[in-house]
């Protein structure tokens, strides 16, 4: 083989390594889920809406599935007994701030817009929300979800990401309206993807599960209300009644657990 041919062959080998699917995905095939599981799934809901404990947790409890509820403490007070029961039954109550700050482009958020926050104010609010959750329900949380999935504070040249604040104070932070599951060997635990399950059919969710199964990933499903079909920002109770038995039937391959439990496992497996 002449020098030119050898150089060309070496280039092709190196190129194949650099752009192979596994390198593009950043996957580490040495990562393993516990007990021979192939994938992981977490159910999560935001805000602390009443339907979550009036409609949702009875369905979850019927099938023994534990979920994560990212709550704004003040929003849970109208169904406090239901939220205490959820906590006592092993569901995770996690942090979703005190005031649910989002961009002021959401007109309802204009009074506490992210554009008016700085990092110090945001950190203070997150820590106070942790205290309120513990005071109300006797549980501590290491997990957080970004309201509206937005990770910034302030505006213009003063704009800052508050992801580092979340990384400093929590094991995990979940975003919103993402399109892909998390690679447990690669993902940033402070920016876990949250894939919408509101207004999705069983077929829609099964397509997400198959995407997750293909590469052994972690699917964090995210929703808001739980109830009847056709209502905006609502996870269909009918879909859950179909999905949960399927997950139990396939529990030898699918690990279903709250976000915090799986995040702790991923952190331990990755050694940090």
- Per-residue confidence (pLDDT) for residue 17, from 0 to 100: 42
- CA 125-266-92 angle, to 5 degrees, is 45
For the segment 97-107, what is each residue's pLDDT rounded down to a tens digit? 999 999 999 99
Read off the tokens for 149: 């999935």
Per-residue pLDDT at 25 exceeds 90: no
CA–CA dist 269, 272 (Å, integer)? 8
CA torsion 138-89-176-224 (nearest 10°) is -100
pLDDT band, residue 29 (cuts 50/70/90): low
Listed residue (167, 169, 149, 162) closest to 222, CA to CA: 149
CA torsion 209-213-216-217 (nearest 10°) is -20
Mean pLDDT throughout 192-219? 98
Per-residue pLDDT at 5 exceeds 70: no
Per-residue pLDDT at 163 exceeds 80: yes
Per-residue pLDDT at 185 exceeds 80: yes
If one compares 15 and 64, the residue with the highest pLDDT of the two is: 64
- Per-residue confidence (pLDDT) for residue 68, from 0 to 100: 99
Whole-number percent of the chain with pLDDT over 70: 89
- Per-residue confidence (pLDDT) for residue 1, from 0 to 100: 52
* Strand 160-161 to 218-223 pairing: unpaired
pLDDT band, residue 8 (cuts 50/70/90): low
Per-residue pLDDT at 6 exceeds 50: no
For the segment 107-148, what is each residue's pLDDT rounded down to a tens digit? 999 999 999 999 999 999 999 999 999 999 999 999 999 999
Whole-number percent of the chain with pLDDT over 90: 89
For 61-128, the DSSP string reads HHTT---EEEE-GGGGGGGHHHHHHHHHTTPEEEE--SS----TTSGGGGGG-GGG--HHHHHHHHHH
Mean pLDDT throughout 10-15? 45
* Strand 143-145 to 172-174 pairing: parallel
């Amino acid at each position: 083989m002449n020098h030119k041919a050898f150089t060309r062959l070496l280039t092709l080998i190196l190129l194949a390594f650099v752009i192979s699917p596994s390198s593009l995905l950043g996957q580490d095939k040495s990562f393993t889920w516990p007990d021979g599981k192939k994938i992981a799934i977490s159910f999560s809901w935001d805000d602390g809406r009443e339907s979550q404990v009036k409609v949702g947790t009875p369905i979850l409890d019927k099938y023994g599935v534990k979920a994560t509820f990212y709550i704004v403490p003040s929003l849970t007070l109208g169904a406090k007994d239901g939220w205490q029961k959820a906590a006592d039954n092993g569901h995770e109550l996690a942090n979703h701030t005190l005031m649910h700050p989002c961009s002021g482009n959401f007109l309802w958020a204009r009074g506490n817009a992210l554009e008016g926050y700085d990092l110090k104010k945001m950190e203070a609010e997150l820590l106070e929300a942790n205290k309120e959750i513990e005071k109300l329900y006797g549980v501590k949380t290491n997990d957080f979800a970004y309201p509206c999935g937005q990770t910034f504070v302030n505006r213009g040249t003063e704009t800052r990401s508050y992801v580092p604040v979340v990384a400093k104070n929590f094991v995990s932070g979940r975003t919103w309206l993402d399109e892909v599951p998390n690679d447990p060997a690669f993902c940033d635990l402070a920016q876990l993807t949250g894939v919408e399950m509101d207004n999705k059919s069983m077929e829609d969710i099964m397509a997400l599960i198959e995407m997750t199964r293909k590469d052994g990933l972690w699917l964090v499903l995210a929703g808001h209300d739980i109830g009847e079909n056709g209502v905006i920002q609502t996870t269909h109770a009918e879909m859950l009644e179909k999905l949960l038995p399927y997950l139990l039937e396939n529990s030898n391959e699918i690990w279903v657990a709250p976000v915090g439990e799986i995040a702790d496992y991923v952190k331990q497996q990755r050694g940090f």
